Amino acid sequence: MTFMRYSHGQLIFYDNNGFHIVNPFSGTKVGPPFLQSVHFTCISYVTLTAPVASADSHLLVGAGAYLFLWRIGSGSWTKHSPKVGSFSIEQNVALKGKTYALGSFGWFYIIHLSPSLIIQKFKVVFEEDITEDLYSTNEKSWLVVCGDVSLLIKLVEAGRRMRSEAFQFMAFKLESVDTMTKKARWVKVNKLDNWAIFISVDEWCEALPCMNPEGWGGRSNHIYFPSYQSEKPWAAVQLWQKCYYRSTQLFNTGRRYLKLESTWVFPARFLVPSCDDLTAVSAVRD
């Protein structure tokens, strides 16, 4: 059984019998009917478009030039061939009835599921049309929704030397999307205010926002991630602060794994975990 993604509070696996969507707390499992199609070959990505309890929640599977959609609880799949060229999802979030997604090579997508599947494709740009591509030069990126704001969190090398050991977390918010120029503009966020963000070792696992972390002894404006130090199973770094991966083991963060690695999870009914809900936030390991 291969681990595919942690999405909207659910672990998604795949084996010879098809897809399995597992609740990590209750152990309950749901799955679509077996997908049979001559176009279903190599799986490039799998994700949920919304929490499974949502009326518009779908399992979205990319295979080659085709998209396969299964509405949770239905008895069949639908197949689509999106007219947006190469299409692959690396991170996605649900916000205001839409699915926002980051793709390969610096592309940003807005996915509309109803009344029919429509995918809008935009180029990621930062600040005032700066052409320096801060997205595609580093794969360690996470989309996360804090309140009604969509944020892009990046883990990048902070030093100017080759093989720099200094890293830092950056944050940008989605400022606008221009349907004429096909650009999605992101602007720098200096502070997360009363938010903290939890990221997992595996990049296929979504980032989790937490409001008012001081309520359980945490710190706002910090990024939390699993650590392999036995005396401290997690670490925290302030946004934009330079740190060194030899002391925090950040080099293990943001990779892609076929087995389930240390991962933050929380009950799917908590779309935004508050300080009272963080008792359920934990790191689990296969």
DSSP string, 117-158: -EEEEEEEEETTTB-S-TTTT---EEEEEETTEEEEEEEEE-
Q: Indicate the residue type of 162.
A: M
> Residue 23 CA to chain centroid, in angstroms?
17
Q: 282 pairs with which residues across the strands?
A: 265
Give yes or no for a contact between 184 and 173, defined as CB atoms under 8 angstroms apart: no
- With left for phi above 0 and alpha for psi between -120 and 50, is residue 193 left, alpha or beta? left
Q: How many other CB atoms sit within 10 Å of the CB of residue 187?
A: 12
Cis peptide bond prior to 24, omega within 30° of 0: no
Q: How many domains does the chain have?
A: 1
Which element (helix H / strand E) includes 48?
strand 43-48
> Residue 202 CA to chain centroid, in angstroms?
10
pTM of the model: 0.81
Residue ranges in the chain whose pLDDT is less than 50: 131, 134-138, 269-286
Distance, CA of 42 to CA of 205 (rounded, Å): 20
Q: How many other CB atoms sit within 10 Å of the CB of residue 83?
A: 9
Q: How many other CB atoms sit within 10 Å of the CB of residue 246?
A: 9
Distance, CA of 221 to CA of 236 (rounded, Å): 10
pLDDT of residue 277: 42
pLDDT of residue 51: 86
Which element (helix H / strand E) includes 174?
strand 166-178
pLDDT of residue 280: 33
Dihedral of the alpha carbons of 286, 201, 50, 15, in degrees to the nearest 10: -40
Q: 22 pairs with which residues across the strands?
A: 11, 29
Specify burial of residue 197 (Cβ count, 10 A radius: 0-12, 13-18, 19+): buried
Q: Which of 54, 44, 63, 42 is nearest to 5 (CA)?
A: 44
Q: 118 pairs with which residues across the strands?
A: 112
For 207, the domain range is 2-284
Q: Which of 85, 81, 91, 72 is nearest to 31 (CA)?
A: 72
pLDDT of residue 254: 58
Q: Which of 159, 167, 158, 218 is nearest to 192 (CA)?
A: 218
